[in-house]
Amino acid sequence: MAEIQLRNINKRWGSFVGVDNFDLTIADQEFLVLLGPSGCGKTTTMRMIAGLEDATEGEIIIDGKVVNDLDPKDRDVAMVFQSYGLYPNMNVYDNIRFPLKVRKVPENEHDERVRRASAMVELDEFLHRKPAELSGGQRQRVALARAIVREPNVFLMDEPLSNLDAKLRVSTRAQIKNLSHELKVTTVYVTHDQIEAMTLADRVVVMKQGKVQQVGTPTDIYDHPANTFVASFIGSPAMNLMDGTLSGGTFSGDKVSIAGLPGADGPVTLGFRAEDATLAEGSAGQIMAPIYTIELLGDATMLTVRAGGQLVSVKAHKEFRAKIGDMISFNVPVAICHLFDKESGTRIDAT
C-alpha cells in the first residue's frame, strides 16, 4: 500500500508563493495527474513529495509515515524526468541495473529484474546499446525501465514525454497507460499537456499560480469545469467562452441570443464546446457570424468565427465546405451550456 497524503502543503521562497495550501489524499494505486501551465506549482509539488524540495509548511505522509524529514533515497519513490538522465558510458542493461546496485539488491536478483523491466517497455533488443545509439523514445523507455526495476511504492513522473515528437508521444503515452495497469503502483504525473492528463489520469488536479483550481476525474473536469480557467485549459479546442448578459433566462451578446438558461439576471460568461454546437440552415441559428478560419481535420471540419468579441470554434462534419468570410449560423443546446460569473469566473450551477 502507498497512499500519499498531502496535508496543507505550502512552499514559499521569501514573499513568493510557489504552492499554496495544497491538501489532497492520493489513493493507493491511483494515477494522479498534476496539470497546469508553466510556473503553476505542479513540479514543485512533485519535488516536495520526492524530498528534492522541503515544504515550508504542512505534512507529507507516504504509506502512513510522515516523510518530511526523510532523504529522497529513504522515501521509496522512483522518478522519471523530462531529461532522461542516462549514463552515457553504460549500455541500456547497466543503466537499468544501476538502481539495484545503489540499493544493494542481491546480485543474483539483478538479471531477472532488469530483463523483466526491459520487457515491459519493449527494450530487449537494445540492451547492449549505449544511450547515444538510441532514439528519444527509446531513451525515455530506458528511463521508465530504470524506475520500474526499483519496484518502488510510488512513481513520480515529471513531464516525461515533452521531449518526444508527436507520434512518439502517442505511443509512449499508451505504454505508460499500460504499465500503470500492469504495475498497479501509485503514480503522480506532472504535465502541461491536457491530452496527456485526460488520457492517463484516474484523477486530475488542475493548478494555477500555486493554487488548486479543481480536482476530479477527467470526465468531471471536462463536463463540469469549476471556473473559466479550467474550462479554457481542458479540451482541444478549449471551451468557447463568450461574455454577455443573462436576462429572464436569455443570454444576449454580440451576434448571440440563447433562451431557456437558468440563473439570476446580470453579466455572465457563457461556455460551450465546439463539438456540442450544430450548424443551422441560413440565419436560423442562435449565433450568426462570418467564418474566420477553416481547418480540415480529416474526421471533421473545424470552423472558427468571431462572435461575442471572441474567437468561437464549431465542429462541422468532414464534408462541410465553405470559404473564409462566408456567413454561418449555429445552435447550442441549452442542456450543454455552462454559465460562469463574469467577475470571478466561478461556475454558476443551476438551482
CATH of the domain at 17: 3.40.50.300
Confidence (pLDDT) at 1: 60
What separation in angstroms does the CA of 199 have from each of 29, 146, 175, 234, 306? 17, 24, 12, 12, 30
Residues 257 and 319 occupy one common structural domain: yes
Confidence (pLDDT) at 164: 78
CB-side exposure of 197: number of CA atoms within 13 Å? 29
- Of 169, 198, 228, the residue that ends a domain is 228
Q: Could you give the number of structural domains in the chain? A: 2
- What cell does 96 get? 537499468
Residue 225 and residue 231 in contact, taking contact as beta carbons nearer than 8 Å: yes
Nearest to 249 by CA among 308, 161, 337: 337
Residues 187 and 280 occupy one common structural domain: no
- What cell does 153 get? 511504492
Nearest to 154 by CA among 202, 113, 187, 200: 187
Residues 10 and 114 occupy one common structural domain: yes
Residue 334 and residue 261 in contact, taking contact as beta carbons nearer than 8 Å: yes
Residues 224 and 243 occupy one common structural domain: no
- What cell does 262 get? 437558468
Distance CA 334, CA 326 (A): 26
Nearest to 185 by CA among 74, 343, 78, 316: 78
The dihedral built from the CA positions of residue 97, 102, 107 and 113, taken in this order, carries a sign that is negative
Residues 171 and 126 occupy one common structural domain: yes
The DSSP-derived string for 330-343 is: EE--GGG-EEEETT
Q: 151 lies in which domain range? A: 4-228
The DSSP-derived string for 100-147 is: HHHTT--GGGHHHHHHHHHHHTT-GGGTTS-GGGS-HHHHHHHHHHHH
pLDDT beneath 70: ranges in the chain: 1, 350-351
CATH number for the domain spanning 267: value is 2.40.50.140
Q: What is the pTM of this model?
A: 0.90
Distance CA 269, CA 242 (A): 5
In a domain, residue 233? The reply is no
- Distance, C-alpha 54 to centroid of its chain: 24
- Of 199, 228, 257, the residue that ends a domain is 228
Residue 157 and residue 180 in contact, taking contact as beta carbons nearer than 8 Å: no
Nearest to 4 by CA among 59, 43, 61: 61
Confidence (pLDDT) at 254: 81
Confidence (pLDDT) at 103: 87
Confidence (pLDDT) at 350: 67
In a domain, residue 310? The reply is yes
Confidence (pLDDT) at 351: 54
Confidence (pLDDT) at 168: 79
In a domain, residue 257? The reply is yes
Residues 14 and 150 occupy one common structural domain: yes
Q: Please tell me what DSSP assigns to residue 179.
A: H
Distance CA 167, CA 324 (A): 31
